Amino acid sequence: MRVAELANPSRFLRAANLAIPWLGGATVLLFAFALYRAMLAPDDYQQGATVKIMFLHVPSAWLGMLCWALMTVAALGTLVWRHPLADVAAKAAAPLGAAFTLLCLVTGSLWGRPEWGTYWVWDARLTSELILFLLYLSVIALWRTVEDASRAARAVAILTIVGAIDLPIVKFSVDWWNTLHQGASVFRLGGSTIHPAILAPLLLMAAAFTLLFMTLLLAAMRNEILRRRVRTLRLLQASAAG
């Protein structure tokens, strides 16, 4: 089946119903393996075992940004190509991205407290990530406020594309400004600077998070399609009642 054929909501539902259990199972297995490897990884000589918050903090940050990138693509799909499932994907993705970003903020905050003496500083990286969280919440609020689905989709699409400017800011904030947050150590020119014993579990956790995201996204898209069908049925019911 070609991807383009999934544009039909009914076909998508059938494909999703097939895929979700398998994806869910794979997610659980990969998480189990990744957590096992993470537990085995060595402690930091300074921070001790606290450093292992990184295995939650970093992947959730990556997923928070990946999700917004996906929403941006979906926004283009709505505005430019008018793909029928684009706004469904965008609407389903927003709460997931918000959750990942919140997880990143909270884990980072707990991790930073012993070192920095405070739960929060207004440095460039933390602030831009908080802004990303606010952007997610405002997208969710916009979805809920505008009644008509297609008008909401267009408004959200514009907001998403404008908000995408925050993604490079978050990524390069530690380079462009003097921040308390540590510099880039994985995705940088010249290769990563992390020891492989920590890098491998980190990438495994990231893969597990990604699978989790995909599973939840498909499930949320399925729910959204069903929700729209319920709405249509209710409209029919009202007009049939005379």
Partner 1 sequence: MSPLAALLLRDMRIAVRVGGGALIGVLFFLAVVSVTPFAVGPDLALLKRIGPAILWLAALLASLLALDRLFASDHEDGSLDLILTGRAPLELVVAAKGIAHWLTTALPLVVAAPLIALLLDLDGSAEAGLVLTLLVGTPALTFIGLIGAAIAVTLRRGGLLLAIIVLPLTVPVLIFGVAAANAAIAGPVPFGTPFTVLCALTLASLVIGPFAAAAALRLDME
Partner 2 sequence: MRLSAVDLACRRGGRDVFSGVSFNVGAGELLAITGRNGAGKSSLLRIVAGLIRPVGGRLWLEGGEPELSIAEQVHYLGHQDPVKPSLSVLENLQFWAAFFAGAIKVDDALELVGLGAIATLPAGYLSAGQRRRLSIARLIAVKRPIWLLDEPTSTLDAAAQHRVAEFMRTHLSEGGLVLAATHSALGLSSIQELSLDRSVRSHAHSDVAGMEQPAAVAP
Q: Which of 75-83, 121-129, 187-195, 230-238 is the region at the interface with partner 2 (rule: CB under 8 A)?
A: 230-238
| DSSP, residue by residue, 102-155 | HHHHHHHHHHHHHHHSSS----HHHHHHHHHHHHHHHHHHHHHH--SHHHHHHH
Print the binding letters for residues 155-184 with partner 2: x by CB under 8 A, - otherwise. ------------------------------
Exactly one of 113, 144, 188, 234 binds partner 2 (CB under 8 A); that residue is 234
Bridge partner list, 48: 44
Between the alpha carbon of residue 148 and those of residues 47, 143, 145, 152, the distances in Å are 51, 9, 9, 6
Q: Which is nearer to partner 1, 121 or 194 (CB)?
A: 121
Q: Which of partner 1, partner 2, none has residue 123 at its interface (CB below 5 to 8 Å by kind)?
A: partner 1
Minimum CB separation of residue 155 from partner 2 in Å reads 20
Q: Which is nearer to partner 1, 13 or 167 (CB)?
A: 167
Q: Which of partner 2, partner 1, none has residue 84 at its interface (CB below 5 to 8 Å by kind)?
A: none
- For 35, what's the count of Cα atoms within 13 Å in the CB-facing half-sphere? 8
Tokens 């990744």 belong to residue: 34
Interface residues with partner 1 (CB under 8 A)?
109, 118-123, 127, 130-131, 134, 137-138, 140-141, 144-145
Q: Identify whether the C-beta of residue 216 lies closer than 8 Å to the C-beta of residue 19.
A: no
Q: Which of partner 2, partner 1, none has residue 22 at its interface (CB below 5 to 8 Å by kind)?
A: none
Minimum CB separation of residue 49 from partner 1 in Å reads 24
Contacts of 155 (CB under 8 A, 6+ apart): 142, 146
Contacts of 118 (CB under 8 A, 6+ apart): 112
Q: Which of 41-49, 73-81, 158-166, 231-239 is the region at the interface with partner 2 (rule: CB under 8 A)?
A: 231-239
Torsion of CA 136, 229, 15, 157, to 10 degrees: -30
Minimum CB separation of residue 148 from partner 2 in Å reads 12
Minimum CB separation of residue 140 from partner 1 in Å reads 8
Q: Which of 51-59, 134-142, 169-177, 232-240 is the region at the interface with partner 2 (rule: CB under 8 A)?
A: 232-240
Region of residue 48 (phi > 0: left; psi between -120 and 50: alpha; otherwise: beta): left
Binding residues for partner 2, rule: CB under 8 A, are 234-235, 237-239, 241-242
